[in-house]
A = this chain, B = another copy of it.
Amino acid sequence: MPTIKDVARRAGVSVATVSYVLNNTGTVSEATRQRVLKAVEELGYRPSVIARGLQARESRMIGYSWQPMPPDQFNPILEKFIHSMAEAAARHGYHVLAYPCRTPANEVDVYREMVESDRVDGFILTNTNLDDPRVRYLLDVGFPFVAFGRSNPDWDFPWVDVDGADGVRQAVNHLLELGHRRIACLAWPKDSLTGQYRLQGYREAMADAGLEVDPAWVIRTENYYRHAYRATQRWLTLPPDRRPTAVIALTDLMAIGVMNAAADAGLRIGPDLAVVGFDDAPITGYLRPPLTSLRQPIAEVGERVVTMLIDLVQGQRPDPAQVLLKPRLIIRDSTRLSACTQYVTRNT
């Protein structure tokens, strides 16, 4: 690999001049400028990002870590998210360093190590929660980061989030328009901030419609298929006048659990029980029936967190520092009252 010295020698100038030409700084005559560029071209020279990094005390790397899903769950947004981040980063000469986050126990240690060894210039966090220790640590040491997701409202830090409350409100309103009144919500445990926001959207939309929420309609579970399945079975044992006619699940995976439980109980998804998911995983369109779901603008989130972070790294506070994007309700047959075909359980 040729270095800047080789270029300088071949062009008959000093390395400084070469550097000035390459960075468009300093004052260089057009003649030498051309000679230098010619030498660069002939040698196929490219500056070493490591040497540059040492000099500038920056790595032009963005760290991103996530927690792996359990084998029976799926992460429908990871691929698109990483991809949009990497694209946006590349446009500014940055790259994404992806690293796993083993156990949550030593989570902060992993961040600390990256910070102290100068591996990255900043971080993207996802899956933040209330009083997130990673956010706290990075705020304390003053290291640049942007979060996909909110945390403690009293902490001032840059984030981008998808307005889950708005999304669920859209879903409720859609179901209301279809005539549903007994709408259930399959929510997450109380310690999930994202779950809180989404559930809040549900309660607000119901209240706005003047509907009282039967406590039995809200069930909180971890994000597992089998929990959703069982929760649905519980709903179906309610007396007919309290039994939900529609369910909003906070995950496509849970929505699938709802659909399967209902189908197994002989209900037609759509006419007998409307189901809405969240995330619009690629699979949703191929389910029977296709699942109505809330699509998050993941590509835009990835793009924005990265450009905000690069602002931050380069010393300017991103503006705006907090961004709330709206999800979009993708309507499919799982919330149609009269689908022309239905897919139900049949005993053989």
- A288 at interface, CB cutoff 8 A: yes
The residue from B53, B73, B116 contacting A46, defined by CB atoms under 8 A apart: B116
- Cβ B71 vs Cβ A100 within 8 A: no
- Cβ B342 vs Cβ A348 within 8 A: yes
Binary contact readout A311-348 vs B (1 if CB under 8 angstroms, 0 otherwise): 00000000000000000000000000011111111111
**Interface 9-mer from A25-33, A89-97, A156-164:** A89-97
Q: Which residues on B sit within 8 Å (CB–CB) of A117? A: 46-49
Tell me, in angstroms, the Cα distance from A338 to B178 when the chains sit together.
Answer: 39
The residue from B118, B257, B285, B341 contacting A348, defined by CB atoms under 8 A apart: B341
Binary contact readout A93-112 vs B (1 if CB under 8 angstroms, 0 otherwise): 00111111010000000000
- Cβ A48 vs Cβ B118 within 8 A: yes
- A210 at interface, CB cutoff 8 A: no
- A12 at interface, CB cutoff 8 A: no
Tell me, in angstroms, the Cα distance from A116 to B41 when the chains sit together.
Answer: 13
In the assembled complex, how far is the CB of residue A266 from the closest CB belonging to chain B, in whole angstroms? 11
Q: Known: A83-B100, A286-B257. Is A341-B264 also a contact (CB below 8 A)?
A: yes
- Cβ A72 vs Cβ B347 within 8 A: no
Tell me, in angstroms, the Cα distance from A283 to B277 when the chains sit together.
Answer: 15
Residues facing B in A275-313 (CB within 8 A) are 281-283, 285-286, 288
Binary contact readout A34-64 vs B (1 if CB under 8 angstroms, 0 otherwise): 0000000000101111110110000101000
In the assembled complex, how far is the CB of residue A5 from the closest CB belonging to chain B, in whole angstroms? 14
Task: Name A57's closest neighbour in chain B (CB-CB).
Answer: B50
Tell me, in angstroms, the Cα distance from A268 to B345 when the chains sit together.
Answer: 11
- A15 at interface, CB cutoff 8 A: no
- Cβ A286 vs Cβ B264 within 8 A: no
Looking at A69, A76, A119, A257, which has the most chain B CB atoms within 10 Å of its CB? A119
Report, nearest first, the 7 A-B pairs whose CB atoms are least far apart: A74-B282, A46-B116, A98-B98, A86-B100, A48-B118, A68-B83, A50-B53
Which residues of A are at the interface with B, using a C-beta cutoff of 8 A?
1, 44, 46-51, 53-54, 59, 61, 68-69, 71-76, 78-80, 82-83, 86-87, 90, 95-100, 102, 113, 116-119, 225, 253, 256-257, 260, 263-264, 268, 271, 281-283, 285-286, 288, 338-348
